[in-house]
Amino acid sequence: MGTCRAALFLVTSVVLGCAGPSASGATPVFTNPPGLATPNGFTHVVDVPAARTLYVAGQVARDREGHVVGKGDMRAQAEQVFRNIQTALEARGATLADLVQLTCYIRDMSQLAAYREVRERVLGSAPRPASTLVGVSALSSEDFLLEVDVVAVPRH
């Protein structure tokens, strides 16, 4: 009976040890493999060793009271979307520098430059997350020009 308890304790300790917030203590590694075209504004591969991961639902241009911000203005909407993402991350102790993946759904590709300008300024000089850009015909409201969801790995 003692041997079974010892084995169970050992297995439980190993499993729980691997499930911790940052079991490996390693930070994400951002890589652009030489066999792929040089990316503009994102990273091709983000390797995240076992770590705490935050998934932020798609954010749209609503302020804290739920009002649409920047109706018809891509730049204003992108600013609000990234403010919302920052607020969501900070609520869990993370920052925009912790992003490892970003997906943007945009209704009008002719306004892509305005979105990218805001994204570049907001993300600063941190390594760029792996990113996907999807052109869509509609979002949850006609007032929204874009929606962005992210995945973050807090590094502390």
3-class secondary structure, 113 = helix
Neighbours of 156 (CB within 10 A): 10
pLDDT bin (cut points 50, 70, 90) of residue 153 is very high
Closest Cα to residue 146, out of 80, 87, 89, 100? 80
Q: How far is CA 58 from CA 17, 49, 64, 121, in A?
A: 31, 24, 15, 20
pTM: 0.77
Q: Which residues contact 108 (CB under 8 A, 6 or more apart)?
A: 74, 145
Please name which of 100, 121, 116 lies closest in space to residue 47, comparing C-alpha atoms: 100
Hey, is 28 helix, strand or coil? coil
Segments making up each domain of the chain, as ranges = 22-152
Q: What is the mean pLDDT of residues 68-88?
A: 97
Per-residue pLDDT at 9 exceeds 70: no
Q: What is the pLDDT of residue 8?
A: 33
Q: Please state which of the four CATH numbers 3.30.1330.40, 3.40.50.300, 2.40.160.40, 3.90.120.10 is assigned to the domain occupying 22-152.
A: 3.30.1330.40
Banded model confidence at residue 125, pLDDT cuts 50, 70, 90: confident
